[in-house]
Structure 1
Amino acid sequence: HAGGLCGIATPMDPVSTKADELSGQVMAREGELPPVWKDLDLELELLDNMVSGGENAPEKVRPLQPNEMLMVNSATATSVGTVSSIKGSKATLQLRLPICAKSGSRITLSRRVGSRWRLIGHGSITG
């Protein structure tokens, strides 16, 4: 169920798992792991208004800009990426930390506004 914990016995050195250092990582049998992406080609759908908390009026989502930094979430993986190209609803991001995900996986995009990340859209990995 969502939010549950899972314990797995492995021969890993406990020092590599301290302080949730493996949080967001993917584990699979050898040869069955999805691809690891350093550059993401995405099919995107931006929201009309930015998701924000509080009493502020909803803010319109601006189109993506070249070299803009965005936060990308795919399943449990989180990374920050820089927009390297945009063409219509397609974009390419260069990720600071690679993520492991299947082609076609859903992602969410957030933009930094002040000191917070605000959800601005979603999409899927195309390559």
Structure 2
Amino acid sequence: MLGVLKVNQIIEIRPGIVSKDEQGNQKCTPIYSRITSLYAEQNELQFAVPGGLIGVGTTMDPTLTRADRLVGQVLGEMGSLPEVYAELEVSFQLLMRLIGVRTKEKEKQMKVSKLSKGEILMVNIGSMSAGAKVIGVKKGLMKVQLTVPVCTTIKEKVALSRRVERHWRLIGSGQIEAGTTIPVPPPRL
């Protein structure tokens, strides 16, 4: 989204490997690697700028990337990535009606009910999808605890979804206002 990637550059991927410490708190260990190749379609590149899809070849162990485990993680120059958050405060706006869901009586669309404390939502931030438990709601502002840590910035846009009839349905959007960060260990290179 910003910056330049170059062949032989050392990169960082956040949040990286997520685990829990002895107390049960989430911790994340960023992945550090070196770029070995850059591709856009069939063209080999020496550097890549924002816009379009870029294939990034690295020295990373391939088992880290199996089963799309790195989807939603952020890649960038070492030391330049945003913070990793475990809780977020989001200012939000709900839709008036659910899209694509009809009630049986008059074939009208269902209304979106208000958010409630303890409710489980799905939050989409960039390409990352994370479960989120609502731990507080005030007029147009909610605090959520994420099931997985997310590397993002304040003022980033988010999409909110709720489980309706066994499907995740879009119920609103929002913007990150604040959050609780997870400490990221410094690189050991």
Question: CA, structure 1 residues 64+53, in 2 after alignment: closer, same or farther (shift >3 Å)?
Answer: closer
Q: Tell me the amino acid that sits aligned with residue 119 of structure 1.
A: L
Equivalent-residue separation in structure 2 for 1:65 and 1:113 (angstroms) = 15
Equivalent-residue separation in structure 1 for 2:66 and 2:124 (angstroms): 23
The structure richer in strand per residue is: 2
Runs of 4+ in 1 over 6 A off after TM superposition: none
Distance (Å, rounded) in 1 between the aligned partners of 2:115 and 2:100 = 18
> What 5-or-longer segments of structure 1 have no aligned partner?
none
Q: Is 1:35–2:83 an aligned residue pair?
A: yes
Structure 2, gaps ≥5 residues long: 1-51, 179-189
What TM-score comes out, normalization by structure 2 length? Answer: 0.62
2:57 match: secondary structure:
coil
Counterpart of 1:50 in structure 2 is 98
* Cα drift, residue 54 of structure 1: 6.8
Aligned to 2:172: 121
Matched, 1:25 2:41: no
Which residue matches 2:111? 60
- 1:15 matches 2:63: yes
Contact 1:78 1:99 in 2 (8 A): no
Q: Which has the higher contact order (CA 8 A, sep 6+)?
A: 1
Aligned partner (choices 93, 103, 116) of residue 154 of structure 2: 103
Work out which of the two has the higher radius of gyration on C-alpha atoms and give 1 or 2.
2
Partner of residue 122, structure 2:
71
Secondary structure of the 2:154 match is coil
> Would the aligned equivalents of 2:158 and 2:173 in 1 still touch at CA under 8 Å?
yes
Alignment length, in residue pairs? Answer: 124
AA aligned opposite 1:12: M
Q: Offset of 1:12 from its aligned partner?
A: 0.3
Q: Aligned in 2, Cα 1:60/1:122: closer, same or farther, shift over 3 Å?
A: same
CA separation in 2, counterparts of 1:106 and 1:52? 23
